[in-house]
Structure 1
Amino acid sequence: MSTYTVNNGQPFPLGSSVTENGVNFAVVSEDAHTLILCLFDEEDNELQRLPFIAKQRGIWHMEVLGLKENQRYGLRAEGPFEPEKQWLFNKNKLLIDPYARVLTEKLVWHADQAAMTEEGELHLVDSAYCIPKSIVKTVLPAENRPKRVNVLPSHRALYELHVKGFSQQLPIDDALKGTYLGVISKEGLAHLTSLGVTTIQLMPCFSFANERHLEELNLKNYWGYNPISFFAAEPSYAQQDATVEFQKMVDGLREAGFEVILDVVYNHTAESDMDQSSVCYRGLDNAHYYRCADGHYLNFTGCGNCVDTYHSASIRLICDSMRYWVEVMGVDGFRFDLGVDMGRTDHEFSPKAPLLQAILQDPILSHTCLVMEPWDIGPGGYQVGQFPRGFLECNDQYRDTIRRFWRGDEGIIPLFATRIMGSRDYFHKGQRSALHSVNCITYHDGYTLNDLVSYHRRHNLANMENNRDGHGDNISQNFGIEGETDNTEIQSKRLNQQLCFIATLLLSQGTPHFLGGDELSHSQKGNNNAYCQDNETTWLSWQENDARKALQTALSSLMTIRKAYPILAEIYLEDDPLYQHMDADHIEWLNQFSQPMSEGEWSESERDYLALTLTSADISNRLWIVFYREDHPLNVPLPKNSENIEVLFQTPGMSIKNDTLQCDYRGVLLAKLA
């Protein structure tokens, strides 16, 4: 006999919400025959099972009178168990509320969480003992929250930051190390502010879980790209209350002048393959939450499942989640992991996909900073430049071309010029600004900048996959010795190459992305897939050295220059219809004689020198940018009509002497001509 009184309640809002007389619960499960609310005490003893008494439009709902804030609960769904039809209902499996704001603990994989046995039969073991409980929690925006920082698009520069990796070895109080609050420590903010970047891109902070194979190898999912909840904040980064401390981190970053965007994973969940965990979406509505065909998942993510972002329940879940992180948790935008899945209709990609359109028409979400990773591993999964306006896009074409140029690959000059001018072969003139191209040299998934110039091959044995994981071709260069070396000549060359990469990135048209730690010359010892290395491999080292000083100085100096001369980020060309309402700027490409590049020179396979001048429409600024990638000395005359020259930035091998640019070895120079 129930000790609780219930009534129909309301279908919205989804999840649990405190009412005047109790708590309202609303959960999507279109195919379940019965949905059951399970109440728990603080010792995780199951107190009561209450069947939902109302259902409309696939939403089960009821109000339970007398319940209060902080009540622990879970769900059980009864229905058909027919895996070939994607029905995996199993009342023995306790389920997390997809809309739960807070969970009692971090999810840890256990074999008893599976809905089916290895033989494909119904798994009869009750999983409540190994499932985090959802908590009824009213989460409100922080009081007196700093206003969103208004970042000019031409000033925007992203800094990718892992909460634990950034703060774990900072010289701060031990209690703050590896936490949300550690990021906004005095030392943390001082470092970030010194760089001049505008936007902190936080790596995933949704509550996530370790994959089964990592549990078996005694490794951890460090990056966090394996979410179980789209609302609950990751508890391992908190001292006590992850929700409150995440909000404090965001507010602290805003107060320091930063825009904050969150790397989000809406393309798959930690439930993985069909025979693994059934802890939330799979047990509630497997046939609708996940993409499937012919009795199998469509694994377009490489993670065992992919969310069916064409279904209304998933669209609503994702948009509700995004609004929560903006309005309540305080972020200013998102970076979407494997974003092509979000742009798929039934199976194919379309820029008019309902989820993308839902985001762009939303009065809240459409005003945030939206950065798309424009690929997944499914059919038609490479879509760089194809997302609708409103989304910036990570540009791996830029990354690969810039790496090839500085490595010395032949026949790369025309493509190099295209990339530094905004990749107009992908982000076409008249359609999208070059600022839609998010340019990077390094990202979390790959080499750090230090390793890019120190290793020729990946060194991933610590991942315990026999060095098979991670990219095999990194377009890297070790300058003669693999890995660390005491050879000062090689160290000097490696540092110079890193400076050339940073200068190229910040002197290119588009929006720059910088991997946190590159300015510290951080190395992962050649591991280019360190997703499971929660140790000093990935934790940033804050030891002072000459390389760190040079890299930080270059980054901060170039950021200051970039903000002072917006033409470096976005040039208004007369042949671009996007800017037909504006006065046109001017660009000229120059050879090593400071003469206009000829058609034949563009086709030279071994060309190592390329320069350009950018002249603003009002002729107030004329900038000369030089890229030279050979290590033999080269003397270059100054461009014509340049009686006065002011060097704004130069790498060590570049200097102006006797009205001549002297290139002692490879380098980059930026000068203002008059």
Structure 2
Amino acid sequence: MTDSPAAGSLVPGVLPGTPTPLGASWDGRGTNFALWSAGASAVDLCLFAPDGTEQRHRLEETTHQVWHGRLPGVGPGQRYGYRVHGGYDPRSGLRYNPAKLLLDPYARAVDGELRLDPALFGHPADGVDSAVPDPRDSAPSVPRGVVVHDPFPWDGDRPPRRSWSDTVIYEVHVKGATAAHPGVPPHLRGTYAGLAHPAFVEHLLALGVTAVELLPVHHFVSEPHLLRRGLTNYWGYNTLGYFAPHAAYSASGSGGGQVTEFKTMVKELHAAGIEVLLDVVYNHTAEGDHTGPTLSFKGIDNPGYYRLDGANPARYTDYTGCGNTLDVRRPAVLGLLMDSLRYWVTEMHVDGFRFDLASALARSMHDVDRLSAFFDVVHQDPVVSQVKLIAEPWDVGPGGYQVGNFPPPWTEWNGKYRDTVRDVWSGAHVGVRDLAYRLTGSSDLYRSDGRRPFASINFVTAHDGFPLADLVTYEQKRNEANGEDNRDGESHNRNWNCGVEGETSDPDVLALRARQVRNLLTTLLLSTGVPMLTAGDELGRTQRGNNNAYCQDNELSWLDWEHVDEDMRAFVTRLVRLRRGAPVLRQEAFFEGHELPGTGGTRDLAWFAPAGGQLTTADWFDTGLQTVGMYLDGRGIRHRDEHGHPVLDDSYLLQLHAGPEPVTVTLPGPPWADGYGLVLSTEYPRGAPPAPAFLAPGPVDVPGRCVWLLRIERRP
């Protein structure tokens, strides 16, 4: 990108073209350009030569608020943007300024980086709400769209189509996955091609995960406040282009090759039996608040794209904590969102989405509305409704915490699961009542509206917060490297440092920390619902106490392949294998707690106190109780396989003890069991007892802070 493109005179010769589809569409002989703007008075299409020279074409045709035109001879690889004319009156919400080059919201690829410059801003530096627009040309400092034509050979691509009950999600950052992987060629590290490289795919397969959930891959830019501090946005929750794969993750360059590379990655992961889910950010954009840059939507139609403050339209309604909120109540914005989702399913072959701050999308006026237009449109869409849909069911606005309130067919990040499991293992006296709900699919949250246990996406850690190794090492965040005086990041993490803050060489503390990580992972992977692992937790990855590493694009955030905790990796692999081989641990229907005919009085689900009897009402409300046995009878599974045959499975007793000291528990005898085989114990670094252990019914000693998985044995 050159520093000083030509001023760009208007060039005649634009044919009328068509208002659909939106974006830039090549037909083999020319390209049709179409841009929605309800309030513009004129729109200039700007084409850029390789040397940066700009040529402007006035789009004379408008149809239903869409400005359109066709240019013969313009084809794939052409860089372009728009300049939109109209009123500039921030007090009325109008921010049109043709001095600012704007990215097409429908651009399929993006070229160039955002460079911090005063010209990015639509207002003069000395007057944010001035009625005088800033006259400086932003073109040298902003990304541009690229005309793309990619007839990708999808032949043979077979999406795995995993059922929810078979799904194990691996949340991972495209760059961070392989940026430091020695088995990936240097030129492919940190790219889409790197993620699909056999060295990384083999790790996924060995681990047993069935889906990768990629942190944002829609093209994003870094916030000005980060650029001023010499940092960048690493996580990617600052979207600018909802159709374009992020160019910096491509080993193929940014001239459209990123589209082919992304598709190749999807096809390779599908061939390995792994689904691809995208973390998508439709709640806000990279343009921030009224002080933010003018890059696309703000200059195309500010009141048409954003929710403005009714009392002061110069300001934005911010339900996201990021400065602005997209106004999904408006048909053009809702259409943009749905067009984007369908594009990623039909053209890019992804298998589902996780919606960041999804409550912001559900707001009709101020409240979160379960029947908002967004939900209605998604539910009836023949494409989007058929893929995996995951909501992050909260935003930062009033009433935004909506765990359990999203309608079918949505699943949800279960924040209550995370909080409960952390509380239990950090030593908080919370009893076992809430834990019982979380272990069995959270029926209290998801049963009433007809959803099933897999509506609960269970997780203990995510990209946002401490990784598991840090969750048991630090109680105080250490975010100084972010340049915000350690004010950012969550201060209440529901965790315990095992008695020593930070790194230590004490072998007893290290052993306890490792066991606590195993306890958290075991609880996660043996709970009913859909487990989500955070990439690196299986490797022992640390962020050295930083619990908000969103701006740390370095070794602090990347997966560390040099210092791998091989015991932990083997432990997680064993857990996932156990889960996959035991249908009773991943049920598709909620437990009933009813007696099973012909079993002598057992139930599909039962809860046992340490003394051996089933939990009493007093036990359920005893906040000091830290020990519980969960009995799961495999003869009580109520779903059938694809051929209609009942699914039968072994029965198990999960014995969980969060107290610090060993405890004597009484294993129940007949009809519950004639004996027990110890399948897994978090007492051991890799989970496997040193020798096959048979335990008779009766008293046994369970170590402090330990989980046992016991297979029920019955006499013939």
| TM range, smaller chain | over 0.9
How far did residue 596 of structure 1 move?
Answer: 0.7
- Is the counterpart of residue 652 in structure 1 residue 652 in structure 2? no
How far did residue 437 of structure 1 move?
Answer: 0.8
1:551/1:429 CA distance change after superposition, 3 Å: farther
How far did residue 6 of structure 1 move?
Answer: 2.4
How far did residue 429 of structure 1 move?
Answer: 4.1
Q: Whole-Å Cα distance in 2 between the matches of residues 197 and 162 of structure 1? A: 15
Q: Whole-Å Cα distance in 2 between the matches of residues 203 and 306 of structure 1? A: 20
Tell me, what secondary structure is at the counterpart of 2:469? helix
Q: What's the counterpart of residue 653 of structure 2?
A: 624
Q: What's the counterpart of residue 282 of structure 2?
A: 266
Q: What's the counterpart of residue 289 of structure 1?
A: 305
How far did residue 363 of structure 1 move?
Answer: 1.1
Residue identity in the other structure for 1:665: G
Q: Which residue of 26, 37, 43 maps to 1:29?
A: 37
1:379/1:493 CA distance change after superposition, 3 Å: same
Q: Whole-Å Cα distance in 2 between the matches of residues 588 and 603 of structure 1? A: 17
- Is the counterpart of residue 570 in structure 1 residue 599 in structure 2? no
How far did residue 133 of structure 1 move?
Answer: 2.1
- Is the counterpart of residue 499 in structure 1 residue 511 in structure 2? no
Q: Whole-Å Cα distance in 2 between the matches of residues 145 and 303 of structure 1? A: 41
Q: Deviations over 1:302-356 (max 9, x none)?
A: 1111111111111111111111111112211111111111112233321211122
1:108/1:372 CA distance change after superposition, 3 Å: farther
Q: Which residue of 664, 669, 672 maps to 2:708?
A: 669
Q: Whole-Å Cα distance in 2 between the matches of residues 29 and 337 of structure 1? A: 26
Q: What's the counterpart of residue 570 of structure 2?
A: 553
Q: CA RMSD in A?
A: 2.0
1:573/1:326 CA distance change after superposition, 3 Å: closer
More moved, 142-151 vs 371-380 = 142-151
Q: Whole-Å Cα distance in 1 between the matches of residues 237 and 515 of structure 2? A: 33
More moved, 268-277 vs 558-567 = 558-567
Q: What's the counterpart of residue 134 of structure 2?
A: 123
How far did residue 544 of structure 1 move?
Answer: 5.0
Q: Which residue of 674, 684, 688 maps to 1:643?
A: 674
Q: What's the counterpart of residue 420 of structure 1?
A: 439
Q: Whole-Å Cα distance in 1 between the matches of residues 156 and 260 of structure 2? A: 12
Tell me, what secondary structure is at the counterpart of 1:426? helix
Q: What's the counterpart of residue 599 of structure 2?
A: none
Q: Whole-Å Cα distance in 2 between the matches of residues 621 and 429 of structure 1? A: 29
Q: Whole-Å Cα distance in 2 between the matches of residues 569 and 515 of structure 1? A: 19
Q: Deviations over 1:497-522 (max 9, x none)?
A: 00000010011121111100000010
- Is the counterpart of residue 332 in structure 1 residue 351 in structure 2? yes
1:11/1:557 CA distance change after superposition, 3 Å: same
Residue identity in the other structure for 1:352: L
How far did residue 477 of structure 1 move?
Answer: 0.9
How far did residue 605 of structure 1 move?
Answer: 2.4
Tell me, what secondary structure is at the counterpart of 1:73? strand
Q: Whole-Å Cα distance in 1 between the matches of residues 694 and 273 of structure 2? A: 40
Tell me, what secondary structure is at the counterpart of 2:443? coil
Q: What's the counterpart of residue 102 of structure 2?
A: 95
Q: Which residue of 121, 128, 131 maps to 1:114?
A: 121
1:517/1:549 CA distance change after superposition, 3 Å: same
TM-score, normalised to structure 1, is: 0.95
Q: Deviations over 1:383-412 (max 9, x none)?
A: 111111011100111101101101111133
Residue identity in the other structure for 2:678: V
TM-score, normalised to structure 2, is: 0.90
Residue identity in the other structure for 1:222: Y
1:21/1:3 CA distance change after superposition, 3 Å: farther
Give the conservation status (yes or no) of the 8 Å contact 1:117–1:275.
no
Q: What's the counterpart of residue 64 of structure 1?
A: 71
Q: Deviations over 1:11-51 (max 9, x none)?
A: 1000111135421111000000111112221111112x221
Residue identity in the other structure for 1:556: T
Q: Whole-Å Cα distance in 1 between the matches of residues 14 and 476 of structure 2? A: 63
Q: Whole-Å Cα distance in 1 between the matches of residues 517 and 28 of structure 2? A: 60
- Is the counterpart of residue 17 in structure 1 residue 25 in structure 2? yes
Q: Which residue of 452, 457, 462 maps to 1:433?
A: 452
Residue identity in the other structure for 1:596: Q
Residue identity in the other structure for 2:575: L
Give the conservation status (yes or no) of the 8 Å contact 1:106–1:208.
no
Residue identity in the other structure for 1:210: S
Tell me, what secondary structure is at the counterpart of 2:528? coil
Q: Which residue of 144, 161, 164 maps to 2:175?
A: 164
Give the conservation status (yes or no) of the 8 Å contact 2:165–2:586.
yes
Tell me, what secondary structure is at the counterpart of 1:306? coil
Tell me, what secondary structure is at the counterpart of 2:336? helix
Tell me, what secondary structure is at the counterpart of 2:239? coil
1:610/1:129 CA distance change after superposition, 3 Å: same
More moved, 515-524 vs 82-91 = 82-91
Structure 1: segments with no counterpart, 5+ residues: 578-583
Q: Whole-Å Cα distance in 2 between the matches of residues 516 and 189 of structure 1? A: 13
- Is the counterpart of residue 602 in structure 1 residue 641 in structure 2? no
Residue identity in the other structure for 1:71: Q
Q: Deviations over 1:120-173 (max 9, x none)?
A: 231011111112222221234443252110212111111001111110111122
Residue identity in the other structure for 1:270: A
How far did residue 262 of structure 1 move?
Answer: 0.7
Give the conservation status (yes or no) of the 8 Å contact 1:4–1:64.
no
Give the conservation status (yes or no) of the 8 Å contact 1:155–1:562.
no
Q: Which residue of 236, 250, 260 maps to 2:248?
A: 236
Aligned ranges 1:293-442 → 2 under 5 Å: 293=309, 294=311, 295=313, 296-429=315-448, 431-442=450-461
How far did residue 608 of structure 1 move?
Answer: 1.6
Q: Whole-Å Cα distance in 1 between the matches of residues 518 and 378 of structure 2? A: 38
1:512/1:7 CA distance change after superposition, 3 Å: same
Give the conservation status (yes or no) of the 8 Å contact 1:107–1:131.
yes
Tell me, what secondary structure is at the counterpart of 2:242? coil
Residue identity in the other structure for 1:167: T
Q: What's the counterpart of residue 580 of structure 1?
A: none
Give the conservation status (yes or no) of the 8 Å contact 2:193–2:265.
yes
Give the conservation status (yes or no) of the 8 Å contact 2:675–2:694.
no
Tell me, what secondary structure is at the counterpart of 1:11? coil
Give the conservation status (yes or no) of the 8 Å contact 1:8–1:62.
yes
More moved, 406-415 vs 93-102 = 406-415
* Paired residues, number: 665
1:285/1:658 CA distance change after superposition, 3 Å: closer
Q: Which residue of 44, 49, 52 maps to 1:41?
A: 49
- Is the counterpart of residue 593 in structure 1 residue 611 in structure 2? yes
Q: Whole-Å Cα distance in 2 between the matches of residues 670 and 233 of structure 1? A: 43
State, as a whole percentage, how many aligned pairs show the same letter: 35
Q: Whole-Å Cα distance in 2 between the matches of residues 585 and 180 of structure 1? A: 48
Q: Whole-Å Cα distance in 1 between the matches of residues 701 and 562 of structure 2? A: 34
More moved, 440-449 vs 602-611 = 602-611
- Is the counterpart of residue 185 in structure 1 residue 204 in structure 2? no
